[in-house]
């Protein structure tokens, strides 16, 4: 963009929003050059947006989109900035639309168990607000304190309570979206179930800002449960914890969420010295339900030679979970996490190939005691954590490793990403799991809604030519 176009655009944005909601100085734009994906490679501040804007209302978003549409300038909607695949990196410049000032709770409709909010409210802020009404959203992401409702919907965020309550994608009743031509779409009535019309709101789930800017969401909420509980148990190794996980899934017992993984620092949880792995299983419901379910799971632990943690330790573990995940460690980023889906019967083979063949080839160093993990339940996520490659061609080796892990997961009939989406990192990798017809259908949908490709261009939808 040349200087006079830049100045003209600046004047137009300022006249729409006022001076304080438009940023254009390089120093103000610096935080908008990266998300947690590029942060992992510190040297890189190469992509700047031309502007960042901070609208407060749908009308202001409409105005911004109108201005960008007339000039065919890219628009990148931003929530908490916690995505891990480069969805916010402004690779084509343009206007970054930060929703940080769009945090209003528009309506809490307790009798109909739904809430309408602006997109920039974080999941934690919404949870705190709902608690006053005796309600909860049930969307428990590790990034709860950072991730916004708009971001969670646009990435189809995973919740560790998914087994009983589903994920945010299952809770969207209706959305208000500003489309690329500046029109405002209400996707349908504020109901969870209807058989009329196409389910338009589904299009915007996991769309990564490529189809429009969500300006309001109506979500299904639940009454706060009467009781909750957790069973925490330790095992000699991951495969022992996995045995319990497999029995849990086969049993049909109701639980909110569960995870089995190889961990460290388990002595602090009271684990015997020789134990390297754990499983935890969470329950919500009436007191009677929760008691019966946890008693049932304790029997599974007994049958798989697990050692139960003390109850008070298990409850503290449950309460401090999000603190562990939201810590600075995850955001500074010398490490990465694999979040693939692999069919259960291929999980062992996947891990063998991952750690014995792929990791040494590209210099991925597994984090001590964090090689194995399984999110137990409907959306079985398989993964482990590793230090990023260092030294020569570190960035390239990282990309090549991610590609090979993706090839491995899809060759087993799995998915390359359970919950961290596509962004720029997996843009070409998703061709591994979709046919040409499926990819063309996605491109056609994008073309209908965003004919000039101004909505977060260069993300999600792969180029036409398949990478071999
Ligand atoms: C410590 C940590 C823990 C994590 N734990 C989890 C987890 O448990 N489960 C999980 O699923 N993910 C997790 N993640 C990944 C990340 O938090 C999720 O992808 C999250 O849902 C992104 O939300 P956000 O508000 O930060 O979105 P952003 O990163 O700001 O944006 C993500 C995408 O959504 C688009 N977008 C944002 N707002 C809008 C809007 N209003 N309209 C249209 N598009 C929009 C953006 O353009 C972008 O493409 C974790 C990340 C970290 C750093």
Count of domains forming the chain = 4
Residue 150 neighbours by CB distance under 10 Å? 27
Q: Which of 325, 349, 370 is the last residue of a domain?
A: 325
**SS3 sequence of 401-446:** HHHHHHHHHHHCCCECCCCCCCCCCCCCHHHHCCCHHHHHHHHHHH
State the pLDDT at residue 328: 47
Parent domain of 392: 328-423
pLDDT digits (tens, 9 = 90+) for 350-403: 999 999 999 999 999 998 888 999 999 888 788 888 888 888 888 889 999 999
With CA atoms as reference, report the closest residue to 282 among 249, 324, 315.
315
pLDDT at 326 over 60: no
The per-residue pLDDT for 330 is: 53
Pocket test for ligand 1, best of 79, 201, 415 (most atoms within 8 A of CB): 79
Whether residue 250 is found in the same domain as residue 321: yes
Q: Are residues 392 and 317 in the same domain?
A: no
Q: Is residue 260 part of a domain?
A: yes
pLDDT of 41 above 70: no
What percentage of the chain reaches a pLDDT higher than 70? Answer: 95
Report which of 374, 91, 347 is spatially closest to residue 248, judged by C-alpha positions.
374
- Residue (of 139, 119, 116) closest to 127 by Cα position: 139
Q: Is 175 in the pocket of ligand 1 (CB under 6 A)?
A: no
> Going by CA atoms, what residue is nearest to atom 14 of ligand 1?
143
Residue 139 lies in a domain: yes
- Whether residues 217 and 139 share a domain: the answer is yes
Query: Residue 291: which CATH number?
Result: 3.30.70.3450
Nearest CA to ligand 1 atom 39: 150
φ, ψ dihedrals at 229, nearest 5°: -160, 165
Indicate which atom in ligand 1 lies nearest the CA of residue 84.
15
Terminal CA-CA length for the chain = 35
Flag the least confident range among 46-55, 238-247, 320-329, 425-434: 320-329
Task: Give the number of other Cβ atoms within 10 Å of residue 467's Cβ.
Answer: 11
Ligand 1 contact, 329 CB (< 6 A): no
Look at residues 179, 203, 223 and tell me which one is the last residue of a structural domain: 223
């Amino acid at each position: 963009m040349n200087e006079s176009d830049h100045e003209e655009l600046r004047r137009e944005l300022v006249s729409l929003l006022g001076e304080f909601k438009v940023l254009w100085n390089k120093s103000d734009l610096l935080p908008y050059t990266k998300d947690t994906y590029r942060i992992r490679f510190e040297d890189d501040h190469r992509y700047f947006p031309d502007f960042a804007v901070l609208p407060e209302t749908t009308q202001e978003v409409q105005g911004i989109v109108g201005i960008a549409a007339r000039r065919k300038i890219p628009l990148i909607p931003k929530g908490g900035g916690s995505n891990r695949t480069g969805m916010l990196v402004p690779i084509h410049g343009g206007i970054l639309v930060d929703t940080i000032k769009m945090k209003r709770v528009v309506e809490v409709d307790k009798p109909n168990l739904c809430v309408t909010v602006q997109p920039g409210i974080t999941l934690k802020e919404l949870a705190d607000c709902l608690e006053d009404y005796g309600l909860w959203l049930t969307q428990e992401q590790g990034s709860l304190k950072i991730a916004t409702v708009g971001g969670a919907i646009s990435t189809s965020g995973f919740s560790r309570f998914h087994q009983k309550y589903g994920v945010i994608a299952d809770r969207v009743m209706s959305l208000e979206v500003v489309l690329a031509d500046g029109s405002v779409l209400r996707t349908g009535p504020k109901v969870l179930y209807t058989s009329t019309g196409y389910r338009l709101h589904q299009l915007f789930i996991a769309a990564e800002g490529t189809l429009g800017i969500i300006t309001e969401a109506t979500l299904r909420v639940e009454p706060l449960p009467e009781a909750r509980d957790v069973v925490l148990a330790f095992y000699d190794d991951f495969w022992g914890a996995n045995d319990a996980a497999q029995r849990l899934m086969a049993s049909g017992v109701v639980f909110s969420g569960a995870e089995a993984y190889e961990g460290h620092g388990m002595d602090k949880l009271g684990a015997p010295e020789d134990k390297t792995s754990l499983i935890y299983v969470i329950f919500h419901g009436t007191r009677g339900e929760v008691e019966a379910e946890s008693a049932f799971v304790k029997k599974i632990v007994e049958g798989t030679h697990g050692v139960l943690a003390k109850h008070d330790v298990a409850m503290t573990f449950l309460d401090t979970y999000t603190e562990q995940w939201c810590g600075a460690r995850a955001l500074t980023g010398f490490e990465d996490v694999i979040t693939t889906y692999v069919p259960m019967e291929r999980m062992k083979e996947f891990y063998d190939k991952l750690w014995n063949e792929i990791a040494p080839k590209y210099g991925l160093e597994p984090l001590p005691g964090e090689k194995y993990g399984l999110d137990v339940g409907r959306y079985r996520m398989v993964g482990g954590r590793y230090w990023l490659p260092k030294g020569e061609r570190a960035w390239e080796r990282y990309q090549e490793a991610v590609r090979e892990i993706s090839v491995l997961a899809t060759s087993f009939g799995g998915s390359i990403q359970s919950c961290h989406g596509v962004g720029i990192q997996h843009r070409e990798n998703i061709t591994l799991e979709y046919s040409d017809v499926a990819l063309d259908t996605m491109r056609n949908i994008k073309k209908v809604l965003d004919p000039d490709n101004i909505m977060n261009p260069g993300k999600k939808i792969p180029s036409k030519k398949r990478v071999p």
